[in-house]
Amino acid sequence: MVRSLFVAAPKSALKKEFIDALIAGHSAPDRPGWFKTVVSDADKERLAAFSKKLGVPAEELCGIEMSEAVELLNRGDLNAVIEKVLARFHSLAPKFTGIPVEGADLDSGGAVGLQGLDGILAANLASPVAVVSDCAVCTATVARVYRDACAEVVQLVLAGDHKDADVDRHVTPLGIPLVRIPSVAEGGEAFAAVGAKVIGFKPTNVTPKRFEFDLIERAKADRQRIVLPEGDDDRILEAADGILRREFAELVILGDPAAIEKRASELGLKHLGKAQLLDIRTAPFRKELVDMFYELRKAKGVTPEKAEEQLCDRNWFGTMMVKAGKADGMVSGAAGSTADTIRPALSIIKTGKGSSIASSVFLMCMKDRVLVFGDCAIVTNPTPQQLSEIAVTSARTAKGFGVEPRVGLLSYSTGSSGAGPDVDAVKEAVEIAKKSLPELYPDLALDGPMQFDAALDPRTAKSKMPGSPVAGRATVLVFPTLNAGNIGYKAVQRTSGAVAVGPIIQGLNAPVNDLSRGCTVPDIINTVAITACQAQAK
C-alpha cells in the first residue's frame, strides 16, 4: 500500500501551506505526489501547477469534481463518490513513493453539502490523518469529525501562540499526539513527527467500501471464470453486468441465451455481451460432463440415464463445470435453497485435504472493521471436533481476506465461570483446536469459551478473561450452533447496519458459494469477487 497522508484543516489556506511545505522538504530519493479529493473551479490553477510539476495529467490528480460530488450526494449516492475517489487515487498511487492528500475546500463557494465527506474519504483511503490548525478549539473539532467517520487521526499540529489552558481543555483530552509550532514556515518538528507516523502507519479500521474495493482489486489481478446458473433472475443479470463492467471476473451464465439477451436489452444492460451464455441442453461439452458424472457417481447407483437427467438441473451442471475445470467457481442460490447449491458441491467437489466437513462464514463489514462469523449457514449442531475444525478453517478464510485472525469460541459463559453440557462442548472444542494448532495453524490466537461482549469489548474482557490473547480483540467469532450463529449474524446485520457478505463456504476442493434468496445486486457482486479470490488461492 502506498504511503499517504491526509491533511485536514479548518482553513484551506493553512492546509495548502502545510502540504506545500511538506512536499518542498522531502528527501532526494523520494518522489512525493499530490492528490485532491474534491476539486472546484478555484482549484484549477493549483491543479495545473501540480500537473506540470509532477508530469501527470491533471484529471489523474483529483478524485471528483465538486459539482458532481454534490449532485451524487444530493441523490443519496455516497458510494458512487467513494468508488470514484478510490479508483482515481489507486490509479495514481504506483507512480509515487508517498502522496499528501488534500481535502475539499469547505470555505469555498459550492461546498455546501460536503461537510464530513473528507473524513469518510480518509477512512476509505485507509490514510492516516494529520489535523493542522491555528486554533485549539478548531483542532479538536476537526479531529472529532474525522474520528467519527472512522478515519485514523495520528497527529495534531497546532500553529501559533496559544494558552496552555485552552490546549489542555480542548486538545489534550483527545489523546492524539500534538506538536506545537510557531508557524507552518517553521514547522520542521511537525514535518518530522508526521513523517514518522506515516512510515509506521498500519491501518486498523477497514470500512465496508474499502473492503469491497480491495476484494475487487485482488480479483482483477488474476481473473477467474465463475459460473452463474440462475440466468433467469434479473438480479443475477444486473450483477453480471456490473462485474463485467469492472472486469474482475469472467462469467458463464446458464439459461436460454436468446431469453437472457432479450431481458438484458429490456433492463438496459450494456456489458453482458462479454459473458458466455450457455444453454445446458445444447452445451458442446454436455456429453463429456454427463459421462464424467456417471463415472463419479455410478458406485452410488447412478445410471447413464440418471446422469443425463441429473445434469438437466443447472446447479448440478454448473458444479460439474467446476469439477471438470471449465469454470473456477460457482455462485448460486438467488432463487433456490442453500441445499440446492450445496448438495451438488458436497457430492461432486467434496471437501478438501484437512477438512472433514464443509462449513461457512459471513464477513461482517462493520462501520470501521471486518469481523468473521461462523458457522451461520451449514453445520447444524457441530460436535466439539467439528467446532474446532470450523474455528481453524474460519481463521484461514479470514487471513485469506486480509483479516488478522484472533479466534473466539462463543458461549453463554466466559472462561471457567459457567458449566453445563453446552459450555463443556465449547471447552472441549478449544482444547482440541489448541492441540492441533502446531500442525494446522502455528501461532494462531484462539481462546474460549467467551461471551460475545467479552470477545469484542476490551473492558469486559479485562474483568472476565484477563490475560487472554483473544478476549476484547477477537476478529473471528465461532458460534456453538447454527441456531446461535444464524440469529447472531442477522441481529448484528439488522441492528448495526453492518454489511453481511456470505455465506462463504469453506472446506471444499473448489469454491462454490450460496446466495440468500433475499440477496441484492451488491451482495451478488461481492460473492462473485469472494469466489474469484478463493479460486485464486486454490
> Could you read off the pLDDT of 314-371 as tens digits, one per residue?
999 999 999 999 999 999 998 888 888 888 998 898 887 767 888 999 999 887 788 9
Cβ(9)–Cβ(18) below 8 Å: yes
For cell 449532485, name the residue.
71
Amino acid making up residue 49: A
Q: Which pLDDT belongs to residue 189?
A: 76
User: Where do the H-state alpha helices sit in 441-520?
Assistant: 452-456, 458-464, 482-496
pLDDT of residue 113: 62
Secondary structure letter of residue 60 according to DSSP: G
pLDDT given at position 314: 93
Range 3-203 classified under CATH 3.40.50.720: no
Q: Which residue shows C-alpha cell 482489486?
A: 217
- Rounded Cα–Cα distance for residues 222 and 535 (Å): 10
- CATH code of domain 206-350+511-529: 3.40.50.10950
Distance of CA 132 to the CA centre of its chain: 30
| Euclidean distance between CA atoms 369 and 474, whole angstroms | 11
Nearest C-alpha neighbor of 197 from the set 164, 157, 167, 168: 157
CA distance 538 to 527: 16
Residue 142 host element (H or E): helix 136-148
Instruction: Give me the DSSP letters along 274-318.
Output: GSEEE-TTT-TTHHHHHHHHHHHHGGGT--HHHHHHHTTSHHHHH
> In this structure, are residues 137 and 173 in contact, taking their beta carbons and an 8 Å threshold?
no
Largest alpha-carbon pair distance within the chain?
88
Q: Order the strands of the 153-159 sheet from edge to edge.
A: 62-65, 35-39, 98-102, 3-8, 129-133, 153-159, 178-181
Q: How confident is the model at residue 366, as a pLDDT?
A: 84
Helix, strand, coil percentages for the chain (3-state, nearest 5):
50, 15, 30
Q: Where are the domains of the chain?
A: 3-203, 206-350+511-529, 352-507
Q: Order the strands of the 249-254 sheet from edge to edge.
A: 276-278, 249-254, 224-228, 329-332, 512-514
> What residues of the chain score a pLDDT lower than 50?
28
Output the pLDDT for position 109: 60
Contact 330, 229 (CB under 8 A): yes
According to the model, what pLDDT value does residue 381 have?
92
Q: For residues 504 and 512, give the distance between their C-alpha atoms in angstroms, rounded to a whole number.
A: 8
Contacts of 460 (CB under 8 A, 6+ apart): 451, 453, 454, 472
Q: Find the length of the chain.
A: 538
Phi, psi of 20 (to 5 degrees): -60, -40
Tell me the one-letter amino acid at 171.
V
pLDDT at 28: 46
Q: How far is CA 113 from CA 66, 74, 105, 144, in A?
A: 10, 8, 12, 18
Distance of CA 66 to the CA centre of its chain: 27
Q: In what order do the strands lie in the sheet with 499-506?
A: 445-450, 406-410, 476-478, 370-374, 359-365, 499-506
User: Contact, 100 vs 197, CB < 8 A?
Assistant: no
Dihedral sign for Cα atoms in the order 281, 286, 291, 295: negative
Superfamily of domain 352-507: Isocitrate/Isopropylmalate dehydrogenase-like (3.40.50.10750)
Q: What is the pLDDT, as a whole number, of residue 2?
A: 64
Neighbours of 180 (CB within 10 A): 17
